[in-house]
Amino acid sequence: MSAFAKTSMVDLIQRFLTRTRPDLLYGLTNKLDPIRSANVPVASKRDVLDLLWREEGPHAVLRIGGEIGNVTYDPLWEAAVRSATPLVFFNKWQRFEVFGHSRNRLRIEPTGKSSARFERYGIDGAIPTDPENLLMCGVMIAILEQIGCRALSCLMRLSDGNVFPLYQAGHFSVPDDSDSLVTVRWEINWRAFEARPEHADRLGKQPSVNLPSWIDAPPAPEVETAAAMMAEDAGRHWSVEELARETGQSKRSLQRRLGEVGLSFSSLVRLIRVQEACRLLKDTDMPLTVIGFCAGFSDSAHFSRDFRASVGMTPSNFRSLSLDD
């Protein structure tokens, strides 16, 4: 398989250059559209990233992640910043790397309620570079701050074994000898977490759920609330315990309410995912791989299989028919 990078990441780099060094964009590839194309050749990302590294140094590369707050809409960043907690975000990110067949991966190990260790590694012979590692470190910091981590700091080891404070009090620092940074590993800590308030969908649509037509009696309000909450973040891998807790119910009570209308928790999960996939297939130009991830499916195979079982056709066929409406 050829090496690809996520268009969303390359677009982020180009946004940063447009704001800080527009002259460096001259001669590079045309403006990328992350909604229409999920992947670009990995060389495209490395070329633009290496150019910034040579011209501006590692400090600039670390700051690229801050552009996430300026993106109007991008499915990857939208799914990330919707995360209710750091752990939810970590699970999403690692699922996305598998879903997107990324060759450079990020191992994330939570070490407590307010800290985590990160390690970059490659598969299939891939070797992540220093600029790519620092880009990813900056992106992790930016997203964690976006979802509500406060007083965040980041530590990275040096080649002599000492630890360097790469980020603190809202600012990045790099050692005089930036080559001494061991960029494949770092640790992020935060003093507090304040969940961001729920916000309207940036595509301009409130999440909605159509419960199956074979339900005879109107569902209990608890079921409607649970379904709406799942639809707010369809990309999250919900557990029945989490959903019950966040809707103020016991696990047994939620399961009983679902059973009253002939639903199980797994069938509700599938319903939410398929409906979100249908909405994105009809209303956006996102690539199928991005839609599958944003709708919460584990990988492309599960997306195709579950969608076809529920809708009676493949996602691509559904999109083609929707264009005729």
97-123: per-residue pLDDT in tens? 776 656 789 999 999 999 999 999 988
Question: What is the pLDDT of the chain when averaged over all its residues?
Answer: 82
Question: pLDDT-based confidence at 159, cuts 50/70/90?
Answer: very high
Half-sphere exposure of 22 (CA within 13 A, CB side): 2
For the four alpha carbons of 119, 124, 129 and 133, in that order, the dihedral sign comes to negative
For helices 251-260 and 221-232, give the axis angle rounded to 10 degrees.
Answer: 110
Residue 292 in tokens: 């599958």
| Better pLDDT: 75 or 2 | 75
Residue 14 in tokens: 């180009």
Query: Is 324's pLDDT higher than 60?
Result: no
Enclosing H/E stretch for 156: strand 153-157
Average pLDDT of span 3-9: 57
Q: CA 44 to CA 58: how far, in whole Å?
A: 19
CB 301 within 8 A of CB 263: no
225-234: per-residue pLDDT in tens? 888 888 888 8
Q: Lowest mean pLDDT: which of 87-101, 159-173, 263-277, 298-312?
A: 87-101
For the four alpha carbons of 90, 282, 196 and 227, in that order, the dihedral sign comes to negative
35-90: per-residue pLDDT in tens? 444 444 556 667 788 888 999 999 999 999 999 988 766 767 888 888 889 999 99
134-150: per-residue pLDDT in tens? 999 999 999 999 999 99
Q: CA 58 to CA 316: how far, in whole Å?
A: 41
DSSP 33: -
183-221: per-residue pLDDT in tens? 999 999 999 999 876 533 433 344 455 665 445 556 678
Predicted pLDDT at 177: 94
Average pLDDT of span 223-249: 88
Share above pLDDT 90 across residues of the chain, in percent, rounded to a whole number: 36
Predicted pLDDT at 198: 52
Domains in the chain (CATH in brackets) are 4-193 (3.90.1520.10), 221-322 (1.10.10.60)
CB 6 within 8 A of CB 46: no
Could you tell me the CA-to-CA distances from 322 to 285, 291, 313, 317 in Å, in that order? Answer: 12, 15, 12, 9
Q: CA 224 to CA 271: how far, in whole Å?
A: 13
Short-list 268, 272, 288, 271, CA closest to 280:
288
Predicted pLDDT at 171: 96
Short-list 149, 142, 186, CA closest to 164:
186
The two beta strands, 163-168 and 153-157, are antiparallel
| Better pLDDT: 236 or 155 | 155
Residue 87 in tokens: 């752990």
| Better pLDDT: 115 or 323 | 115
The two beta strands, 153-157 and 185-189, are antiparallel
